[in-house]
Structure 1
Amino acid sequence: MIITSTTPSPQALTMLKALQDAVSKNLEKKQKLGQYVVTWENGHPVTKGADAPQRPS
């Protein structure tokens, strides 16, 4: 991953907002449908939701 300290262009900010909105809508939809989601936390995939599969012990 490349991290820069420059200010993103207006076009980049518009694209970022569109992607954030799309992800938020999808996560909300999955929650309403009772589906689980997989996210990445602390370097590991994490499942969340009522029907999420349990990690093997």
Structure 2
Amino acid sequence: MFLKSWKDNVIKKVLDYKIITTQLLTVDSNWQHYTKLMYLYRELSIINVLEHWNQLWTMFFAR
């Protein structure tokens, strides 16, 4: 039972790998939306780091 499920799992992973390696990457609307979101996330992360730095800086001088 365990060996059969393990074998089926390995076969599925190999087939998934073959599908992934043979598919062409296309730039469609989903990919463009994803890249826009990643750009926005990067900008928000930079602002967040600056905000935390500002909080630490003011806490340091408030003592």
Per the normalisation by structure 1, the TM-score is: 0.45
Q: Which has the higher contact order (CA 8 A, sep 6+)?
A: 1
Structure whose residues are more often strand by fraction? 1
Structure whose residues are more often helix by fraction? 2
Question: Which has the higher Rg, Structure 1 or Structure 2?
Answer: 2
